[in-house]
Structure 1
Amino acid sequence: MQSKDLVQLAEQFGSPLYVYDAEKIQSQYNRLTKAFSKVDKLRINYAMKALSNVAILQLLREMGSGLDTVSIQEVLLGLHAGYEPEKIFYTPNGVSLEEIEEVTAMGVQINIDNLSILEQFGTKYPNVPVCIRINPHVMAGGNANISVGHIDSKFGISVHQLPHLVRIVENTKMNIVGIHMHTGSDILDIEVFLYAAEILFDAAKNFKNLEFLDFGSGFKVPYKKDDIETDIEELGKKLSKRFNAFCVEYGKELTLIFEPGKFLVSEAGFFLAKVNVVKQTTSTVFAGIDSGFNHLIRPMFYGSQHHIENISHPKGKERFYSVVGYICETDTFANNRKIAEIKEGDILCFRNAGAYCFSMASNYNSRYKPAEVLWLSGEGHLIRAHETFEDLLKNQIPLPVSAATV
């Protein structure tokens, strides 16, 4: 997409606005499948928590993707988007046995990540196909907030608890069809990921009827010029070779599964916001926009960086700005960032806004959530309308006049 296209979309649909480029999602999907083309049975399950708009789910379904879900609501959205139950993978954490049972009844693949629920579920449903999430105790991610495979993580069953796990499976006669791991996001060193993969291979040897191995995801994407990213091609070459060799050792051709979220949609996303005010203080020039961390919380929550461009005047003289929002607490998207000269009314574009941006948006300060647009075949398609005051009131029940009087 070009800057002029984004400016036109902001004019057409208003701001703030999320825009997603379908072609970029397709190219990322193709890049991943090509990297693992040496594996005969490969399955991509899109981690929909990254961006769960039904239109995006439909787009990925048409590409051949399955879904990785973490809640019963995501499962329901996936079914609504047209996915067959067997194409949906359910990996919850800390949910009740009742929720897992509800999802099981839908025919979705269950992935269990703790011994207590595993034993309860296996006792009641020994014939239901189950995957087990292993914690390999490996820090493969670059951000501590989103690394989930280390020893202090709440996720997965410790690899050191394998003897106990195996005993539960033997006692309940459970049907274990898969082994899963997820080390976390922003994988910087593929050798560390391959080391974790070896732990998964060793764990898999304890189960004789596996159909697949699920390696999660967490592939890093570039956030700025010359930024490092996961070398998908190199990982594909090395892990494919090792996976194929393991299948020979295991005596059965297994399916290799990945669960990319950010990798597929992050770079496809653009967040557009209008500059309300340019404010000069004694030490800083602030560019205040018509949004805040209620719409894009990652810079405040994770310390993440989103490249910011002035797409209204992209060739202007560069100056240093702190880009801030309109929320009543500290609400800073960027400090002392070099951006083409900004004037009130300009449209700023935040890149890498496809993953964990709208999906983490809120109505904090009673602000409306923005609209979403899909750029497909050279046209902008509205896939979520901008919220209205009626949306804020929906499901609220005011007190009767008599009860409201103290």
Structure 2
Amino acid sequence: MKHSDLLNIAKTYGNPVYVYDSEKIVTQFDRLTNAFKGVQKLKLNYAAKALSNITILRLMNSLGSGLDTVSIQEVKLGLLAGFSPEDIIFTPNGVSLEEIEEAAALGVRINIDNLSVLEQFGSKHPDIPVCIRINPHVMAGGNSNISVGHIDSKFGISIHQIPHLLRIVELTKMNINGIHMHTGSDILDIDVFLYASEILFETAKNFKGLDFIDFGSGFKVPYREGDIETNIEELGKKLTTRFNAFCKEYGRELTLAFEPGKFLVSEAGVFLARVNVVKQTTSTVFASVDSGFNHFIRPMLYGASHHIVNISNPHGRERYYSVVGYICETDTFGNNRRINEISEGDILCFKNAGAYCFTMASNYNSRYRPAEVLWHKGKAVLIRERETFDDLIKNQVDVKDLFVPAREKVSVK
């Protein structure tokens, strides 16, 4: 997308606004597929939590992707978007047995990550195939908020609990059709990921009727020019060789599954916000935009660094700015960033805004959530309308006769 295209989108649909490039999503999907072309059976299950707009889900379905879901609502979104139940895997954490049973009744694949629910589900539904999520006790990336395979993580069944797990499976006679792990986002060291994979292979030997092994995802994408990223091509070569060898040892071809989210949509998305105020203080120049962590929380929640470009003045001289929001708390998008000179009314473009940005947006400060636009084949298509005041109060119950306004109270002397 050109800067002129983005400026036209901001003018047409208002700001702030999220914009996603369908071509980039397709490119990332093809890149991951090609990296594992040596695998006989490959299944990519898009992680819906990254960006769950139904149009994006339909795009993924058209590419042949499956869907990784973590809530019953995501399951229903996937079905509404046209996914077949067998192409949806339900991988929740800490949900009730009732929610898992509801998903199973819809025909989707079930992935269970704790012994308590595994025993309850297996006792009641031994004929329903179940995938088991293993915690390999491997740390991926440097951010503990998004690394979920380490020993202190709440996710998965510990590898040290395998004997207990096997006893439950034996007693309930349940059908285990898959083994799964997810080490978390920002995989930097391929060898660490391959080490975790070996733990998964070793665990898989305990189950004779597997259909697939799911290696999760967490592939790191670049956030700025020259930034490091997961070498997907190298990982593809090494894991393909090892996976094919394991299948030969296991005695039949299994499906190699992944659950890419950020890898597919992060770089495809940008977030556009208008500069309301340029404010000079004794030590800092602030550029305050018409948004905040209500729309774009990753910098505040994770310390994520998103590249910021002034698309209204891309060739102006560079100055240092702290880009902040309009929330009545500290909401800083970037400190002391070198950006082309900013004037009030300029449009700033935040890169890598496709994953975990809109999906984590809120109505904090009673602000409306932004519109979403898909850039597809050279045209802008609105895929979510900007919220209005009616949306804000739609589900509120205004009990008008519960209280009397102070001005209407009669003073008693």
TM-score tier after normalising by the smaller chain length:
over 0.9
TM-score scaled by length of structure 2: 0.98
Query: What does residue 100 of structure 1 align with?
Result: 100
* TM-align CA RMSD: 0.8
Query: What does residue 17 of structure 2 align with?
Result: 17
Matched, 1:257 2:236: no
Instruction: Say whether the 8 Å CA contact 1:270–1:353 is kept in structure 2.
Output: yes
Structure 1, unaligned stretches of length 5 or more? Answer: none
Query: What does residue 181 of structure 1 align with?
Result: 181
Instruction: Say whether the 8 Å CA contact 1:316–1:341 is kept in structure 2.
Output: yes
> Which letter does structure 1 place at the counterpart of 2:61?
R
Structure 2, unaligned stretches of length 5 or more? Answer: 407-413
After TM superposition, the structure 1 = structure 2 runs for residues 135-174 of structure 1, keeping only pairs within 5 Å, are 135-174=135-174
Query: What does residue 247 of structure 1 align with?
Result: 247
* Percent identical: 74
> Which letter does structure 1 place at the counterpart of 2:32?
L
After TM superposition, the structure 1 = structure 2 runs for residues 219-258 of structure 1, keeping only pairs within 5 Å, are 219-258=219-258
For residue 252 of structure 2, give the secondary structure of its aligned residue in structure 1.
coil
Per-residue Cα deviation, 1:314-359 (whole angstroms, up to 9, x for no partner): 0000000000000000010000000000000000000000000000
Equivalents in 1 of 2:78, 2:237: separation in Å? 31
After TM superposition, the structure 1 = structure 2 runs for residues 2-401 of structure 1, keeping only pairs within 5 Å, are 2-401=2-401
Equivalents in 2 of 1:125, 1:250: separation in Å? 27
Equivalents in 2 of 1:216, 1:97: separation in Å? 23
Instruction: Say whether the 8 Å CA contact 1:277–1:287 is kept in structure 2.
Output: yes
> Which letter does structure 1 place at the counterpart of 2:334?
A
For residue 176 of structure 2, give the secondary structure of its aligned residue in structure 1.
strand
TM-score scaled by length of structure 1: 0.99
Instruction: Say whether the 8 Å CA contact 1:214–1:256 is kept in structure 2.
Output: yes
For residue 274 of structure 2, give the secondary structure of its aligned residue in structure 1.
strand
Per-residue Cα deviation, 1:51-98 (whole angstroms, up to 9, x for no partner): 000000000100000100000000011011111100100000000000
Post-superposition offset of 1:400: 3.0
For residue 219 of structure 1, give the secondary structure of its aligned residue in structure 2.
coil
Post-superposition offset of 1:233: 0.1
Post-superposition offset of 1:405: 6.0
Query: What does residue 409 of structure 2 align with?
Result: none
Per-residue Cα deviation, 1:362-404 (whole angstroms, up to 9, x for no partner): 0000000000000000000000000000000111001132545
| Alignment CA distance shift 1:177-1:314 (3 Å) | same
Instruction: Say whether the 8 Å CA contact 1:142–1:185 is kept in structure 2.
Output: no
Equivalents in 2 of 1:175, 1:404: separation in Å? 62
Equivalents in 2 of 1:269, 1:249: separation in Å? 42
| Alignment CA distance shift 1:405-1:341 (3 Å) | closer
For residue 110 of structure 1, give the secondary structure of its aligned residue in structure 2.
strand
For residue 321 of structure 2, give the secondary structure of its aligned residue in structure 1.
strand
For residue 145 of structure 2, give the secondary structure of its aligned residue in structure 1.
helix
Equivalents in 1 of 2:26, 2:18: separation in Å? 18
> Which letter does structure 2 place at the counterpart of 1:118?
L
For residue 337 of structure 1, give the secondary structure of its aligned residue in structure 2.
strand
Equivalents in 2 of 1:404, 1:374: separation in Å? 48
Comparing 135-144 and 112-121, the one that deviates more = 135-144
Q: How many residues align?
A: 406
Post-superposition offset of 1:142: 2.6
